Amino acid sequence: MGTGRPGCLPPYVSEFLGMRRNITRTSFQVLLASLIVLAGCRHEVPPMEPVPDRATPRWVLLPPDDDTFFHGVGSAPIGLDPARDREAALENARQALLSDIQARLADYLQPWRAVSFDTGRVVWDAFASVLDDVDPFDTYYDGRRRQYWCYLRLAAGDLEAILEQRRNAMAPRARRHLDEARDRKRRGELVRAIQEAVAAYSYCCGPEGLFMAGRVEGAAIRTEVEDLLGGLLDDVLVVKVDGPEQCRGSGLHDTRLVVEAIQPSRQKVLVGLPIAFRFIRGTGQIGPAGVTDDQGRASVELQALNPRISPVEIDASLDVNALLRRARLDPLPGSAWKGLPIPGVPFVITLVPPRLLLANIERGGTGGGRAAVIVAELADALRRQGIDVQEADVDYLVNPQVFEKVERGEDPGVVDGVDLIGVVAISLERIRKEKGQYQDVLYGEGTAVFRLFDLERRALVIDVRMEREVSGFSAGDVERNFFLQCMDELRTRVVDTLTEQPFFGRP
């Protein structure tokens, strides 16, 4: 049948089998490639199931109490993205660790004699970036509550190392400003020398530097800075040029405090020196701080004073924090500058109670002397606030036109011995009778006006006008009802205005 050797297939059979082998091999390669492509097209590996719950760690139930470490425990609920939830728990643990450092930092750093009390700023500046690299000490998954927990801790020795690195980083900056201050001093540029020395000082203390005194290596820079800055400040003298010693009534119209800055060693004025005006005793409103001009003078406008405190003391001194802002550095708290000879001068102002003249003007109808009673009530209330009040009746005044002008809101002109003039004007008119069910009823229409004029500033500071319709069974009832309503209104709107917001300011 065949012509080939025994056990050998015919040629066409061998060719057919070879084709099948090629087809099988190609199909297998295509299948393998398809599996690889499908595997590569998957977005992510399904998250692994959480490990079955273990015993709840003590640090989850109670805050850790080991004082040799700073601790931070944070948690986050499980959502759709477990990886993001675990990162949220870690971030909450970092926040808790920073809070623990902040709470204990002041006591812990007492041997370093930190100048600044702004421990929160120090913690964030010094440690926030460092804690990003702290690995969790322990983690825990609460399957019942579906909550991740994370525990971070930092050894006290690590804290000292971080502070040491921060101190070493600040030292070259302080040295650079210190050298510049000495160079400016040699050139005779005192204001610029002080600015550079203040910048060097900021790198030695406070939230910007934490450069501490003591046995720390390199702490001599701080001593050098303090010695140089103290010597520069000793060569600055701030003297008072103009300012009131007494203030009567509302006498703050165009009132200014003026100082001059001098360098005694060279007998010349200092230009461009920032001066701050601050209330040491008493309160009020004062204009923004000034800078010495070409004559070495700085001034500020005194706008309002609280009349309940006398004397008032306002300090005008070198604004060291303004010099820091010029150097693009953050200001330091007031405690950081204690012990340095900051040049300044006080303004002491004794407040004299204002002299107020109150008068009543009663016209028309049946006033019955009610305006005089209202004036007396107002006068008593103002005297209790320390205001010198005189009462007058228009019938006995030499010049009643003065009070009529005040009533109209006009400038009454010059009045000797008086700072303020107040007028109560009452007019009750058009009393009419109407038939009632049982007896006749009387109706009256009245107007009450209170105006207060400041003679110092030539301004009307209070203007109250009330219009009322009252009723009664007799003319006396109408008068009394109108009087009582006027008294209630004036007591609320006038006395409260004068006592709560005194007229020691701009209207």
- Confidence class for position 73, pLDDT limits 50, 70, 90: very high
pLDDT digits (tens, 9 = 90+) for 3-23: 444 444 444 434 433 444 444
CA atoms of 391 and 421, how far apart (whole Å): 10
Across 343-365, average pLDDT: 81
Across 386-414, average pLDDT: 74
Q: What is the pLDDT of residue 122?
A: 59
Helices (H), 188-288: 190-202, 206-209, 220-234
Q: Which segment of 77-86, 124-133, 240-249, 440-449 scores lowest on mean pLDDT? A: 124-133
Q: What is the pLDDT of residue 286?
A: 86
Greatest pairwise CA separation for the chain in angstroms: 161
Provide the phi-psi class of 432: left if phi over 0, else alpha when psi is between -120 and 50, else beta.
Answer: beta
- Range(s) of the chain covered by CATH 3.10.28.20: 63-230
- Confidence class for position 434, pLDDT limits 50, 70, 90: low
Architecture of the domain spanning 63-230 = Roll (3.10)
Residue 194 has pLDDT above 80, yes or no: yes
Residue 467, SS3 per DSSP: strand
pLDDT digits (tens, 9 = 90+) for 138-162: 999 887 788 899 999 988 877 777 7
Q: Under 8 Å CB-to-CB from 412, ≥6 apart: which residues?
A: 401, 402, 403, 405, 406, 421, 453, 455
Q: What is the mean pLDDT of the chain?
A: 76
- Range(s) of the chain covered by CATH 3.30.160.180: 355-500
Q: What is the pLDDT of residue 499?
A: 61
Q: Which residue has the tokens 């007998």?
A: 267
CATH code for 355-500? 3.30.160.180
CA distances from 58 to 50, 457, 483 (A): 20, 73, 76
DSSP state letter for 135: P
Residue 11, SS3 per DSSP: helix
Residue 212 has pLDDT above 60, yes or no: no
CA atoms of 417 and 397, how far apart (whole Å): 15
Q: What is the pLDDT of residue 478?
A: 78
- CA nearest neighbour of 194 among 389, 101, 381, 326: 326
Asked if 442 and 432 touch (Cβ cutoff 8 Å), the reply is yes
Pick the CATH number of 237-352 from 3.40.50.10890, 2.40.160.20, 3.40.50.2000, 2.60.40.10: 2.60.40.10
Q: Which segment of 97-111, 194-208, 229-243, 348-362 scores lowest on mean pLDDT? A: 97-111
Q: What is the pLDDT of residue 48?
A: 38
Highest mean pLDDT range out of 65-69, 79-83, 206-210, 395-399? 65-69
Q: What is the pLDDT of residue 23?
A: 45
Across-strand partners of 262?
237, 269
- Range(s) of the chain covered by CATH 2.60.40.10: 237-352
